[in-house]
Amino acid sequence: MSTQYSKYDSVAFENFSKKILNELTQDESLTMTLSAEETLFSRISKARVRQITNVAQASIDYVYIKGNKTLSFTLPYKAFEEDVDLALKKLKISREWIEKLPDDPYLVRPAFYGITKEENLNALPSNDEMLSGVLDYASHVDLAGMFASGDIVRATINSAGQFHWFKTRNFYLDYSLYNNKQKAVKSLFAGSTWDALALRENIKDSELKLSLMDRDSKIIERGSYRVFLAPSAVAELLGTLSWGGVSMGDHQRGNGSLKSLWEKTKHLSPKFNLTEDFSLGMSPRFNDRGEVAASSMPIIENGLLKNFLTSTRTSNEYKVETNFATDWEGMRSPVIKSGSLARENILKELGTGLYLSDLHYLNWSDRETARLTGMTRYACFWVEKGEIICPIQDLRFDESFYSIFGDALVDLTNYSEIIPNTGSYSQRDVGGSKVPGILLSEFKFTL
């Protein structure tokens, strides 16, 4: 197997696109958005291969407009001649379908948003070499997780002449280590250059953390506790915020979860600053329409709402300004500003309470009051007078965002972690977040 073989290149895609775009008549327009990947996925359990899968796949979303009407379709992109026939056939059907559809009052027409090409294609060792590197080194531990490596493409081209191309080559080992009490620690080793030494350091570090989990777990009674949430736990909270928390459309339609912040009847801590910041370089700045977002945009500044993510469609409907968000209006590259808590002072400042490395299965329990529920997971400890005492039995929390990033926020760490998205529903995700840890004066556990 070879990572360097690449089916999907920008010239072939551009040439293919032009064959379709050239078929359009004067009152028609089209946007074509490509998602492609060539990935090796290796599912690992007990540091051995459970399933190994090589995937080459690509599809194109087409948004077709005629007059004031629109419809969309998705087709596979095979990088073979037959793609053209398939697309033209579908275009013909779309012309028939669209005739009888009503006008779209919030139509977003394609425009020229420039031409950009970004390729981060570092040479990586072969998949064999990287995967064997992981499995040989980890053979003495119970490691479960996923090793993925390969190329990802996002591109968009439209009939107004714009063309954006983003291609990245990277890998990740998303894993957890287990002891014989079914206790675990979680880690992620990811990048676009391979460093075998760093991989070993990462696993060794996890082993060290796992040794702390050998002590018997303490059952913690329900109630409010002082807690420290590590960056990976904070990233989970942030992920939930993308479900209706920062979307202008959702707030306009009554499904938003930061309504009180929007209406200025509540505010968050002045220490809390949230930005959509593409300088992380993990996500393309262009969206499916090819609109290019600002390289950095504040969402929440000093605890006050600055901008909800707003797509051009939402902008057309509610007469508010667009900031070129995706139609989903979720965050693609969020960054929470760090604070002043130094790593060596975390336990001391926590005093007596809970150190939580990860959270799991979060959901809004009451959107209106921005209340979230979820579970603690992996390395979570009971801490007394600044000292780790023992792991805990997992707890359910149910707490408001206004408390977590508001009244209860004591401090944020002075360091942050970059956490790439490792999701792979249908295709491998791009994007990620950069977040510090947070110290809270109280956090409510209900079960």
Partner 1 sequence: MVNLKNLLNSLNTEADYISLRSVHHHSVSVGVRNEILEGVSSSEDNGLMIEVMIDGQIAYGATNSFELSEVKRCAEVARQSALMAKRFGLFPLTHQERPKVIGEYKSPASRGMDHFKPSEITDLLISLTGQMKIHDHIISRTANFSLIETHSHYVASNGSDVHQKIIRSTISLSATAASDKGTQRRTFGDEQSAQSGLERIDRAVLLKASQKIADEALALLEAPECPTETMDLLLAPDQMFLQIHESIGHPLELDRILGDERNYAGWSFVKPSDFGTLHYGSKLMNVTFDPTVVGQNASYFADDIGAIATREYLIKDGLLERGLGSLESQKRLNLPGVSSQRATSWNRPPIDRMANVNLEPGHSTMAEMLSTIERGVFMQTTRSWSIDDYRNKFQFGCEHAQLIENGKLTTIVKNPNYRGITAPFWNQLKMVGDKSTYQIGGLTNCGKGEPNQVIHVGHASPACLFSKIEVFGGGK
Residues 405-444 within binding reach of partner 1 (CB under 8 A): 423-426, 428
Find the shortest distance in angstroms from Cβ 357 to partner 1.
Answer: 13
Q: Which is nearer to partner 1, 46 or 306 (CB)?
A: 46
Q: What is the DSSP letter of 27?
A: T
Q: Which is nearer to partner 1, 49 or 198 (CB)?
A: 49
Q: What share of the chain is helix, strand, coil (3-state, %, to 5)?
A: 25, 40, 35
Report if residue 361 touches partner 1, rule: CB under 8 A.
yes
Q: Which is nearer to partner 1, 150 or 290 (CB)?
A: 150
Residues 167-196 within binding reach of partner 1 (CB under 8 A): 174-176, 178, 182, 184, 186
Residues 130-159 within binding reach of partner 1 (CB under 8 A): 131-132, 135, 144-146, 148
Q: Which of 398, 410, 414, 431 binds partner 1 (CB under 8 A)?
A: 398
DSSP string for residues in 349-402: HH-SEEEEEEEEEEEEEEGGGTEEEEEEEEEEEEEETTEEEEEB---EEEEEHH
Find the shortest distance in angstroms from Cβ 208 to partner 1.
Answer: 19
Query: For the range 18-23, what are the long-range contacts, defined as Cβ-Cβ under 8 Å and sequence gap of 24 or more?
Result: 19/84, 20/84, 20/87, 20/88, 20/91, 21/157, 21/158, 21/159, 23/88, 23/91
CA distance 443 to 372: 11
Q: Which is nearer to partner 1, 175 or 355 (CB)?
A: 175
Find the shortest distance in angstroms from Cβ 418 to partner 1.
Answer: 20
Residues 77-116 within binding reach of partner 1 (CB under 8 A): 77-80, 86, 90, 97, 100-102, 104-106
- Nearest Cα neighbor of 411 from 269, 297, 277, 316 is 269
Backbone angles phi, psi at 161, to 5 degrees: 100, -5
Question: Is residue 88 within 8 Å of residue 23, measured between CB atoms?
Answer: yes
Q: Which is nearer to partner 1, 114 or 423 (CB)?
A: 423
* CB neighbours of residue 445 within 10 Å: 19
Report if residue 254 touches partner 1, rule: CB under 8 A.
yes
Find the shortest distance in angstroms from Cβ 407 to partner 1.
Answer: 11
CA distance 272 to 301: 7
Find the shortest distance in angstroms from Cβ 161 to partner 1.
Answer: 24
Residues 20-79 within binding reach of partner 1 (CB under 8 A): 39-43, 45-59, 70-79
Q: Which of 307, 400, 413, 433 binds partner 1 (CB under 8 A)?
A: 400
Find the shortest distance in angstroms from Cβ 209 to partner 1.
Answer: 15
Report if residue 368 touches partner 1, rule: CB under 8 A.
yes
Find the shortest distance in angstroms from Cβ 58 to partner 1.
Answer: 7
Q: What is the DSSP letter of 403?
A: I
Using alpha carbons only, give the angle 174, 375, 204 rounded to the nearest 5 degrees.
35
Place of tokens 């073989």: 5
Report if residue 364 touches partner 1, rule: CB under 8 A.
yes
Find the shortest distance in angstroms from Cβ 101 to partner 1.
Answer: 6
**Class of residue 394 by CB neighbours under 10 A (exposed 0-12, middle 13-18, buried 19+):** middle
Q: Which stretch binds partner 1 (CB under 8 A): 281-289, 292-300, 356-364, 412-420?
A: 356-364
